[in-house]
């Protein structure tokens, strides 16, 4: 017997509950088909009710997070893809996925019609294989806008199939469900979603809605009719109900629980803005409809069928007229905007979709060009670059776009500008090169050119979603005008945007408003208010971490400017308040930490000079909390505490400061003149064994303090006393550690006699600070080779002495180390076996759990493993179609693995490898990082070779039982591993893979996962990172041992 072929599969991406209920009208005419919905979680958060609608309509669906999952998650036997929108980048990725498999793509027009949306193409500018339209009028409009006529098909709206379905029983049922009772039909107000940051193209704001409700309340009192307010599905019912019932106390406010079609049966008059499908349906059903247009042009202005109100004060009268006279003639509206095939819209669309099955629909040049442009339209430079690189035979336009995007990603401004200018020559009507050039010229200071290209970008923008790019261009224009000294021009531009109701809902414009207001001292508080509102919008309506982080940074710098201007006017309290708000942002964005600390110290100094010690202490506290490693803040805080008589607080601050490596030295250098600091440099202890230098240092500082007190007439007494106390505490700690080190040395010598480890003379790197955060450490444990110290800040435990390259080569130099390491796993050979199966299942399991093996839809996934040993995991991943490579210091093991498994393994240390920038999708390492001397350097190198959206997965052992393992140089905990991840990655997560045994000892490992590289560094920065990641390397090694390492002694 031959197996029956699978029935055809329709894949459907809805973006509202209405799409789902309408699609059910098509499904019922396709009984032989299978149907699968796609629920994009990020969109579903903004559009509640999608999952409920899919379940109610009994449609199976997949829940997806991001585009990389498409290739693995979507059914490969899809016959047709139906889209509810093409305006978000997830839909664009779906289209790319379908076209690569030559599957037809279909759209069914609903509320986003040209007639209802001022001829705005809105969601439907994509090159669909079939586009079903509401009417012949719609088709005529799309043809005029240049849409290919052979792709258009007039089907009517699916909502038309529901006409005439309501009856008397339904009316009674609806009345009971909403609590309307008997009597006359209600005044029904169906709202439009309010305009906010994520919906800047919406027409209504709360002020407009409030005006409508006040007018309806008047009619309700006069006529005795109940008001029913039907909220848009995306609105919060509880919040809006409270606000509405403050205006109309007896109003019935409903949300998604009642459909609009059901509500028509109890509607006496409908109030609607006029640009929605609800309004058109009501007019076609003969329901009296009133449109508070107030300047918004709708199809009903031209074709009749509704009462139009242009002045809000006339709305109540129009509603009463509609109740008294009934609906106006709607014959012209019906003739132009209503169409229903003989067998219904759902039947017609089902038949047309069925005819598309088996028809190959490959992607051509026009499709790829449109897709690249659309990805750039929604801000996905990274995806546009991936798509352009995916095309094998690129046209001149595609190649120049690729060059421009590549230069943009690598921060090569001049190259990007040149490529975008070439794109203008090849496509003179495309707005985007001008958009990029406006930003580029603003960055380079060519302000006239920036303004010129910004205006050109606005002029050439396509006729939909124009505000997405007009607003950033207006910000470029206003900022450039301000820098050129044309404040009036910038203000006029802002006023025009304010008149359009945009400033108060867009953070970029509020930040620009603050910049303009802060130039006038009398309006500084208004500038603060604008910045407060901008941050509230960023918090309430987040877009993504990159965009929101950039805007938060701009807001923070503007706060600093306002704080500085407050201080200049003498209002120090307001200045401090601005700095405190900025410090909150600094906890997420480190770039603004130094300016906050500097301004806080300066403001505190002013207060301290005026004898306001409480105000000074607040400023210094703020500086210390903002940057815990800025030693100046602790010093001045101790000085103020001494002046206040708070001796315990002063001694505590100085005690902490004295224990920070290089802390006292940095403070003294900051206070002294450069000449005095250079003179004093020779007296700082060079090694823990120094005796004379600390004594000389104490004598020199004592003499300096005495001289300072005498010369100032005791005015600088507290300054000199604070420095002297700090130095004395530092010296006391130095001698204490000298004695402790001698005691530990005796212990080590005794242990060395008992066991002569091979590495006893090779530990020439002496670590003095935590290699993760730079904090001070305290003694934790002594193993056979080295003392282990625990960081006081991040709890990281690290070896105090590190082996040199020669010692590492000896340790990992032959095959016996591999045999010892693999033996406890039941693995004895580099051949597939049961032991290997268990090993690989664990490794691949965590990778799959974190969705790290999902392949990009347009290219091969690329993976690099640090410390890959024989390469068995890489070999297994290579069988899955992944491009794999790795590095392994044990050359013998690497050679054996390459010979038997055929994988590419590099044998130099990872930090020394020359690897391509921004190339890999995933860097992984299992039980390797704890063996490496400088983990921060490893992460810095990994960040440079990962793509901007790449990921890293690290597994390290945990628990105190590991302390005796002398091969391990680092002992991570959740805090230290997360801190390391957060330095280089946007999204991080720690997964616990450990347990506590009966003796209370923790055994096992932890995984560190990071995704999204923080920023893109220049090649110069990358070279510096390879030599000295995070700027700590030289400070982590004590001076004497550093010299020894360099000379090879």
pLDDT tens digits, 207-218: 999 999 999 999
804-820 tens-digit pLDDT: 777 777 777 666 667 66
Confidence (pLDDT) at 79: 93
- Which pair of structure tokens corresponds to residue 108? 């069914």
| Structural Rg of the chain based on CA atoms | 35
By mean pLDDT, which of 428-432, 914-918, 1032-1036 is the weakest?
1032-1036
Picking from 340-349, 512-521, 989-998, which range would have the lowest pLDDT averaged per residue?
A: 989-998
Residue with more model confidence, 864 or 591 = 864
pLDDT value of position 748:
53
DSSP 3-state assignment of 906? strand
Instruction: Tell me 964's DSSP state.
Output: G
Question: DSSP letter string over 819-888?
Answer: HHHHHTTT--SSS--HHHHHHHHHHHHHHHHTT-SPPPSSS--EEEEET-TT-HHHHHHHTTT-EEEEE-
Q: What is the mean pLDDT of residues 978-988?
A: 90
| Higher pLDDT, residue 419 or 713 | 419
**Average pLDDT, integer, range 320-349:** 93
More confident call, 221 vs 466: 221
Are 903 and 871 in contact by the 8 Å Cβ rule? The answer is yes
- Highest mean pLDDT, choosing among 532-536, 546-550, 723-727, 805-809: 532-536
DSSP string across 634-660? HHHHHHHHHHHT-HHHHHHHHHHHHTS
Sort residue 958 into left (φ over 0), alpha (ψ -120 to 50) or beta.
beta
3-state SS class at 97 = helix
Distances (CA, A) of 562 to 488, 513, 591, 597: 20, 12, 18, 15
CA gap 690, 589 in Å, rounded? 40
With contact defined as beta carbons under 8 Å apart, do 362 and 102 qualify?
A: yes
Phi-psi region of 308 (alpha: psi -120 to 50; beta: other; left: phi over 0): beta
Handedness of CA 951, 940, 905, 928 (dihedral sign): negative
Say how many C-beta atoms besides its own lie within 10 A of residue 221's C-beta: 12
Q: What is the pLDDT of residues 900-920, one digit of tens each?
A: 888 888 988 888 888 888 889
d(C-alpha 34, C-alpha 5), whole Å: 13
Residue 24's nearest CA partner among 344, 264, 358 is 344
Rounded Cα gap, residues 58 and 754, in angstroms: 74
Helix (H, G, I), strand (E, B) or coil at 732: helix
∠ Cα 514 517 523 (to 5°): 115
pLDDT at 758 over 50: no
Q: What are the beta bridge partners of residue 955?
A: 926, 1007
CA distance 63 to 350: 25
Q: What are phi and psi of 923, to 5 degrees?
A: -115, 130
pLDDT at 47 over 80: no
Residue 1023 Cα distances to 344, 915, 917, angstroms: 67, 12, 11
Q: What are the phi and psi torsion angles at 1011 (to 5°)?
A: -140, 145
Per-residue model confidence (pLDDT) at position 755: 46
pLDDT of 431 reads: 95
pLDDT digits (tens, 9 = 90+) for 933-980: 889 999 999 999 998 889 999 999 887 777 878 888 999 998 899 999
CA 623, CA 626: separation in Å to the nearest integer? 5
- Confidence at 449, pLDDT banded by 50, 70, 90: very high
Q: What is the mean pLDDT of residues 63-77?
A: 74
**How would you classify residue 765: left for phi > 0, otherwise alpha for psi between -120 and 50, otherwise beta?**
beta
Catalogue the long-range contacts made by 712-719 (C-beta closer than 8 Å, 24 or more residues apart). Answer: 718/639, 718/642, 718/643, 719/639, 719/671
Domains of the chain: 9-160+344-371 (3.40.50.2000), 166-337 (3.40.50.2000), 506-627 (1.25.40), 660-752 (no CATH), 753-799 (no CATH), 803-1047 (3.40.50.150)
* Residue 450: band (very low, low, confident or very high) from pLDDT cuts 50, 70, 90: very high
- Selection from 58, 44, 57, 42 nearest residue 16 by Cα: 44
Q: Do 484 and 477 meet the contact criterion of CB atoms below 8 Å apart?
A: no
Give the chain's largest Cα–Cα span.
Answer: 109
Q: How confident is the model at residue 348 (pLDDT cuts 50, 70, 90)?
A: very high
CA 45 to chain centre: 16
Q: Is 455 exposed, middle or buried (0-12, 13-18, 19+ CB in 10 A)?
A: middle
Rounded Cα distance between 95 and 91, Å, is 6
Which among 442-451, 613-622, 701-710 has the top mean pLDDT? 442-451
User: Would you call 177 helix, strand, or coil by DSSP?
Assistant: helix
**DSSP states of 418-469:** HHHHHHHHH-TT-SHHHHHHHHHHHHHT-HHHHHHHHHHHHHH--SSSTHHH
> How far is Cα 860 from Cα 218, in angstroms, rounded to an integer?
65
C-alpha span between 107 and 127 (Å, rounded): 10
Beta bridge partners of residue 724, listed in sequence order? none
Buried b (16+ CB within 10 A) or exposed e, 166-200: beeeebeebbeebebeeeebbbbbbbbebbbbebb
**What residues form DSSP beta bridges with 270?**
188, 289
- At 197 the pLDDT is 83
Query: What backbone phi and psi angles, to 5 degrees, belong to 255?
Result: -120, -125
φ and ψ of 763, to 5 deg: -85, 85
Per-residue pLDDT tens for 458-489? 999 887 788 889 999 999 999 999 999 999 99
Which of the four pLDDT bands, split at 50, 70 and 90, describes residue 509? Answer: very high
Q: Which two tokens stand for residue 133?
A: 């339209």
Cα–Cα distance, 374 to 1015 (Å, whole number): 24
**pLDDT band at 222; cut points 50, 70, 90:** very high
Look up residue 522 and give its DSSP letter: G
Tally DSSP H helices, then E strands, for the chain: 45, 26
Lowest mean pLDDT among 241-255, 639-653, 834-848: 834-848
Whether pLDDT at 1003 is above 90: no
DSSP letter for 627, please: -
**Six-digit token string for 279:** 């309004």
Q: Which DSSP string do the residues of 926-950 spell out, in sequence order?
A: ES-GGGSS-HHHHHHHHHHHEEEEE
User: Is 154 or 630 the better-scoring residue by pLDDT?
Assistant: 154
Q: Which of 61-75, 229-243, 504-518, 751-765 has the highest mean pLDDT?
A: 504-518
* 157: nearest Cα among 177, 176, 138: 138
Which residues is 37 bridged to in the sheet?
Answer: 12, 61
pLDDT at residue 490 greater than cutoff 50: yes
Under the banding of pLDDT at 50, 70 and 90, the label for residue 594 is confident
State residue 550's pLDDT score: 86
If DSSP codes are grouped into helix, strand and coil, which group holds residue 61? strand
Question: Per mean pLDDT, which range of 74-83, 469-478, 608-617 is the poorest?
Answer: 608-617
What integer is the mean pLDDT of 1010-1017?
Answer: 73
Question: What confidence tier does 678 reach under pLDDT thresholds 50, 70, 90?
Answer: confident
**Does residue 595 register a pLDDT over 80?**
yes
Complete edge-to-edge strand list for the sheet that includes strand 78-83: 60-64, 34-40, 9-13, 78-83, 105-108, 130-133, 152-154
Q: For the chain, what percent of residues have pLDDT higher than 70?
A: 86
For the chain, the average pLDDT equals 83
Mean pLDDT of 381-405: 91
Most confident stretch, 41-45, 303-307, 593-597, 646-650:
303-307
pLDDT in tens, 271-318: 998 888 889 889 999 999 999 988 888 889 889 999 999 999 999 999
Token output for 734: 């130095």
- pLDDT band for 188, please (50, 70, 90 cuts): very high
* Beta-carbon-side half-sphere exposure of residue 312 (alpha carbons within 13 Å): 11
Q: How confident is the model at residue 583 (pLDDT cuts 50, 70, 90)?
A: confident
Q: Among 241-245, 659-663, 852-856, whose mean pLDDT is lowest? A: 659-663
**Is 249's pLDDT higher than 50?**
yes
Q: What's the CA gap between 777 and 793, in Å, rounded?
A: 8
pLDDT exceeds 80 at position 149: yes
Poorest-confidence range of 16-25, 498-507, 973-982? 16-25
User: Would you say how long the chain is, in residues?
Assistant: 1049
pLDDT at 587 over 80: no
Tokens of 426: 């090849």
The confidence score (pLDDT) of residue 1045 equals 29
Question: 352-356, 517-521, 811-815, 975-979: lowest mean pLDDT where?
Answer: 811-815
């Amino acid at each position: 017997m031959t197996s029956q072929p699978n029935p055809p599969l329709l894949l459907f991406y809805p973006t509202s509950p209405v799409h789902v209920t309408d699609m059910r009208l098509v499904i019922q005419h396709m009984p032989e088909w299978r149907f699968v919905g796609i629920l994009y979680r990020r969109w579903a958060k903004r559009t509640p009710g999608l999952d409920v609608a899919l379940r109610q309509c009994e449609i199976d669906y997949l829940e997806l997070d991001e585009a990389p999952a498409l290739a693995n998650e979507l059914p490969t036997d899809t016959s047709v893809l139906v889209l509810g929108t093409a305006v978000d980048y997830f839909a664009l990725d779906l289209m790319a996925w379908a076209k690569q498999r030559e599957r037809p793509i279909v759209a069914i027009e609903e509320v986003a019609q040209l007639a209802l949306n001022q001829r705005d193409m809105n969601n439907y500018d994509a090159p669909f294989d079939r586009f079903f339209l509401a009417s012949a009028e719609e088709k005529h409009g799309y043809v005029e806008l240049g849409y290919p006529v052979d792709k258009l098909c007039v089907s009517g709206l699916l909502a038309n199939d529901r006409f005439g379905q309501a009856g008397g029983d339904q009316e009674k049922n609806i009345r009971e469900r909403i609590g309307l009772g008997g009597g006359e039909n209600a005044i029904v107000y169906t709202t439009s979603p309010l305009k906010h940051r994520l919906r800047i193209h919406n027409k209504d704001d709360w002020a407009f809605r409030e005006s409508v409700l006040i007018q309806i309340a008047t009619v309700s009192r006069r006529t005795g009719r109940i008001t029913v307010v039907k909220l848009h599905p995306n609105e919060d019912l509880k919040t809006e109900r409270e606000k509405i019932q403050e205006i109309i106390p007896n109003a019935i406010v409903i949300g998604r629980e009642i459909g609009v079609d059901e509500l028509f049966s109890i509607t006496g008059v409908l109030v609607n803005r006029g640009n929605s499908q609800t309004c058109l349906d009501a007019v076609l059903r003969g329901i009296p409809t009133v449109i508070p247009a107030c300047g918004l042009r709708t199809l009903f202005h031209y074709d009749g069928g509704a009462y139009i109100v242009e002045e809000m004060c006339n709305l109540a009268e129009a509603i009463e007229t509609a109740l008294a006279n009934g609906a106006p003639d709607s014959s012209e509206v019906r003739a132009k905007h209503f169409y229903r095939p003989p067998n219904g819209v759902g039947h017609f669309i089902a038949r047309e979709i069925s005819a598309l099955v088996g028809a190959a629909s490959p992607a051509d040049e026009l499709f790829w060009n449109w897709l690249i442009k659309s990805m750039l339209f929604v801000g996905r430079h990274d995806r546009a670059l991936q798509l352009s690189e995916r095309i094998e035979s690129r046209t001149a336009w595609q190649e120049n776009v690729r060059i421009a995007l590549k230069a943009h990603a690598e921060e090569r401004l001049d190259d990007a500008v040149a490529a975008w200018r070439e794109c203008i020559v090849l496509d003179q009507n495309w707005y985007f090169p001008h958009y990029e050039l406006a930003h580029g010229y603003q960055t380079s200071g060519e302000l006239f050119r920036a303004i010129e290209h910004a205006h050109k970008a606005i002029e050439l923008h396509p006729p939909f979603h124009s505000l997405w790019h007009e607003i950033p261009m207006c910000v470029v224009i206003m900022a450039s005008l301000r820098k050129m000294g044309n404040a009036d021009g910038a203000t006029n531009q802002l006023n025009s945007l304010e008149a359009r109701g945009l400033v108060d809902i867009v953070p970029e414009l509020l930040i620009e408003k603050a910049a303009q207001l802060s130039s006038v001292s009398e309006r500084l508080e208004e500038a603060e208010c604008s910045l407060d509102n901008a941050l509230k919008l960023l918090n309430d309506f987040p877009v993504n971490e990159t965009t929101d982080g950039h805007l938060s940074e701009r807001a923070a710098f503007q706060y600093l400017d306002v704080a500085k201007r407050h201080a200049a006017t003498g209002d120090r309290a307001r200045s401090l308040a601005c700095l405190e708000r900025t410090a909150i942002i600094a906890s997420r964005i480190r770039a603004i930490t130094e300016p906050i600390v500097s301004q806080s110290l300066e403001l505190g100094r002013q207060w301290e000079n005026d004898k306001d010690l409480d105000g000074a202490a607040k400023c210094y506290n703020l500086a210390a909390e903002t940057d815990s490693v800025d030693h100046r803040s602790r010093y001045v805080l101790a000085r103020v505490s001494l002046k206040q008589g708070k001796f315990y607080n002063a001694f505590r601050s100085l005690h902490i400061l004295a224990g920070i490596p290089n802390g006292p030295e940095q403070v003294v250098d900051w206070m002294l003149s450069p000449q005095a600091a250079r003179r004093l440099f020779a007296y700082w202890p060079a090694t823990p064994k120094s005796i004379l230098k600390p004594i000389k240092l104490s004598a020199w500082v004592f003499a300096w303090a005495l001289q300072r007190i005498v010369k100032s007439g005791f005015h600088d007494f507290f300054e000199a006393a604070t420095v002297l106390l700090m130095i004395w505490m530092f010296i006391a700690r130095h001698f204490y550690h000298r004695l402790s080190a001698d005691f530990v040395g005796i212990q080590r010598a005794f242990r060395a006699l008992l066991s002569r480890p091979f590495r006893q003379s090779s530990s020439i790197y002496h670590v003095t600070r935590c290699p993760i955060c730079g904090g001070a450490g305290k003694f934790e444990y002594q193993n056979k080779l080295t003392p282990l110290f625990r960081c006081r800040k991040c709890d990281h435990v690290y070896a105090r002495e590190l082996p040199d390259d020669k010692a590492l080569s000896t340790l990992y130099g032959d095959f016996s180390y591999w045999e010892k390491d693999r033996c406890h796993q039941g693995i004895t050979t580099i051949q597939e076996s049961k032991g290997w199966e268990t090993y690989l299942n664990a490794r691949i399991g965590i990778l799959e759990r974190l969705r790290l093996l999902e392949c990009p839809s347009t290219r091969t996934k690329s993976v690099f493993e640090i410390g890959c040993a024989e390469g068995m995991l890489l070999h297994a991943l290579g069988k899955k179609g992944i491009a794999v490579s790795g590095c392994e210091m044990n050359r013998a093991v690497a050679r054996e693995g390459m010979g038997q498994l055929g994988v590419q393994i590099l044998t130099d240390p990872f930090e020394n490898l020359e690897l391509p920038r921004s190339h890999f999708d995933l860097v992984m390492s299992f039980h390797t990082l704890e063996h490496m001397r400088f983990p921060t350097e490893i992460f810095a190198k990994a960040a440079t070779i990962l793509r901007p959206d790449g990921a890293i997965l690290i597994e390290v052992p945990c628990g105190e039982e590991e302390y005796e393992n002398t091969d391990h140089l680092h002992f991570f905990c959740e805090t230290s591993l997360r801190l390391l991840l957060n330095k280089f990655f946007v999204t991080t997560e720690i997964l616990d893979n450990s347990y506590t045994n009966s003796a209370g000892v923790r055994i096992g490992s932890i995984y560190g996962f990071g995704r999204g590289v923080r920023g893109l560094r220049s090649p110069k920065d990358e070279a510096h990172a390879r030599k000295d990641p995070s700027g700590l390397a030289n400070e982590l090694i004590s001076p004497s041992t550093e010299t020894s390492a360099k000379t090879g002694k």
